[in-house]
Amino acid sequence: GAPIEVDLTPIAQGQDIKVFWRGQPIYIMNRTPKQVEEARNTPLSDLKDPQTDQARTKEGHENWLVVVGICTHLGCIPIAHEGNYDGFFCPCHGSQYDTSGRIRQGPAPLNLPVPPYQFVSDSKIQIG
């Protein structure tokens, strides 16, 4: 599939949208400062699939989280802004992801993947 461009201006802080790229749902979340802080203050030792929030986001655009919305357990679509970690909750078997899309609880083995993307301006990204 071809790369897609997504305008971020309609996504208010604390909200998210879902777009499709290569047939996959992609969540784009405009995180609040509190959500960013939670993601960054989590010790790696608390994580099943240890990755820093810095490694999963773009410098200078720390509020934006872009992840593939496919649960790494058996492929259900997690719900955003749900669950104990204010990130994503998978209704199929209860996996819980944090505000960085990292797996925190439940049977999923891995974090939600970050697709290849880049900022083409302050308010627009290209995915793919």
Q: Could you list the active site residues?
A: 93
**Contact in structure between 65 and 27 (CB atoms under 8 Å):** yes
Q: Which residues partner with 30 through β-bridges?
A: 64
What minimum distance in Å lies between the beta carbon of 89 and ligand FES?
Answer: 9
Taking residues 65 to 104 in sequence order and writing x for each that binds ligand FES by CB under 6 A, - otherwise, the string is: ------x-xxxx-------------x-xxxx---------
CA atoms within a 13 Å half-sphere pointing along the CA-CB vector of 59: 1
Q: Token pair for residue 124?
A: 């627009």
**Binding test (CB under 6 A) with ligand FES, winner from 16, 26, 106, 127:** 106
| CB neighbour class for 31 (10 Å; exposed up to 12, middle 13-18, buried from 19) | buried
What minimum distance in Å lies between the beta carbon of 80 and ligand FES?
Answer: 14
Using CB under 6 A, list all residues that contact ligand FES. Answer: 71, 73-76, 90, 92-95, 106-108
